[in-house]
């Protein structure tokens, strides 16, 4: 869990239905008394936060098995939102069905495509089961228990199973136990702090010139700033141009002021995505 829980907002938008792993992340960061604002797509989620329909948004940004969730950090820039918190959720996938069903009677199991991809070993062990793609893990369980589904079973969280009254036939069916997803909490405005263990996420684009990336990264190394993550993604509509996303230890308006000012001189564009408390596990 988050070591120092954030001030709890009243409403948090998630992509998916109650019981999704984003729901778990929201409760982990803000507590169980939040009002969920379920949305069907990430674009709808970002719009809900940008327009004030939800005070916060909870979005996945990377998974230890599947990698980065493409597009969500670009959406942070596009909607002018701020990252105000982070957490990580251990992804434990359960195989569930309506109460009273037997495994031998089940022929199809639905879930989000990413969840299905993380259960190859389970489907290999049960070759009679056919995976069926659904838009959401929790939504597949909800529809199954509501009698609105054309499949026999679903794969999702134990939270979703409890919410919708499903029977868990098998637990932790994911292929790799080191399966975690990192989530960002989003807001329409920045949180100034101060707070312990500050961390900053940013995006920048450097010129197509020899040594430009080396110079940009030198801004951090020369000042002893800990760069905890760096990756590049293509910029939509600008072929063969790339935007770099970085995580740094420190607060943008406190520890990192000088290096960010220098970076703005060297880079073609710089976006400060937010400063927030670094996620810590309880000892």
Give the total number of structural domains in the chain: 3
> Which is it for strands 108-111 and 130-133: parallel, antiparallel or unpaired?
parallel
Domain membership of residue 45 as a residue range: 11-90+179-187
Is there a domain that residue 283 lies in?
no
3-state SS class at 211: coil
What residues act catalytically?
181, 183
Is there a domain that residue 115 lies in?
yes
133: number of Cβ within 10 Å: 12
Q: What percent of the chain has pLDDT over 70?
A: 96
The pLDDT, as a whole number, for residue 93 is 97
The pLDDT, as a whole number, for residue 7 is 57
For residue 40, give the DSSP letter. S
Q: Are residues 48 and 183 in the same domain?
A: yes
| pLDDT 10s digits, 244-279 | 999 999 999 999 999 999 999 999 999 999 999 999
172: left (phi over 0), alpha (psi -120 to 50) or beta: left
Average pLDDT over residues 52-80: 92
**CA pseudo-torsion sign 143, 145, 151, 155:** positive
Q: Are residues 122 and 22 in the same domain?
A: no
Average pLDDT over residues 150-156: 97
Average pLDDT over residues 149-172: 96
User: What's 220's domain CATH number?
Assistant: 3.30.70.260
pLDDT tops 60 at residue 65 = yes
Is there a domain that residue 5 lies in?
no
Q: Are residues 68 and 183 in the same domain?
A: yes
pLDDT tops 50 at residue 210 = yes
Backbone angles phi, psi at 109, to 5 degrees: -140, 130
pLDDT band at 196 (very low <50, low <70, confident <90, very high): confident
Cα end-to-end distance, the chain, whole Å: 10
The pLDDT, as a whole number, for residue 66 is 79
Is there a domain that residue 4 lies in?
no
The pLDDT, as a whole number, for residue 24 is 96
pLDDT tops 70 at residue 1 = no
Q: Are residues 71 and 183 in the same domain?
A: yes
Average pLDDT over residues 185-197: 88
The pLDDT, as a whole number, for residue 280 is 78
| pLDDT 10s digits, 127-146 | 999 999 998 999 999 999 99
Q: Are residues 125 and 24 in the same domain?
A: no
pLDDT band at 231 (very low <50, low <70, confident <90, very high): very high
CA 89 to the chain's CA centroid: 9
Is there a domain that residue 193 lies in?
no
pLDDT tops 50 at residue 162 = yes
**Domain end call among 187, 221, 247:** 187
């Amino acid at each position: 869990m988050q070591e120092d829980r954030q001030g709890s907002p009243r409403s948090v938008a998630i992509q998916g239905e109650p019981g999704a792993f984003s729901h778990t992340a929201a409760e982990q960061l803000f507590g169980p008394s939040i009002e969920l604002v379920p949305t069907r797509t990430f674009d709808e989620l970002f719009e809900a936060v940008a327009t004030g329909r939800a005070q916060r948004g909870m979005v996945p940004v990377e998974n230890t098995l599947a990698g980065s969730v493409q597009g969500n950090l670009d959406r942070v820039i596009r909607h002018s939102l701020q990252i105000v918190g982070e957490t990580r959720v251990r992804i434990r996938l359960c195989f569930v069905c309506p109460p009273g069903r037997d495994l031998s009677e089940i022929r199809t199991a639905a879930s989000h495509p990413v969840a299905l991809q993380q259960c190859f070993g389970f489907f290999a062990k049960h070759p009679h089961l056919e995976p069926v793609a659904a838009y959401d893990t929790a939504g597949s369980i909800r529809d199954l228990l509501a009698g609105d589904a054309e499949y026999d079973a679903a794969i999702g969280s134990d939270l979703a199973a409890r919410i919708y009254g499903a029977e868990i036939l098998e637990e932790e069916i994911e292929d790799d136990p080191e399966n975690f997803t990192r989530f960002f909490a989003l807001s329409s405005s920045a949180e100034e702090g101060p707070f312990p263990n500050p961390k900053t996420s940013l995006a920048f684009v450097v010129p197509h010139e020899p040594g430009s990336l080396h110079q940009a990264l030198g801004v951090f190394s020369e000042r002893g700033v800990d760069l905890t993550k760096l990756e590049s993604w293509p910029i939509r509509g600008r072929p063969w141009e790339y935007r770099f996303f970085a995580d740094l230890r420190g607060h943008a308006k406190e520890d990192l002021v000088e290096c960010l000012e220098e970076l703005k001189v060297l880079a073609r564009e710089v976006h400060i995505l937010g400063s927030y408390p670094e996620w810590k596990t309880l000892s």
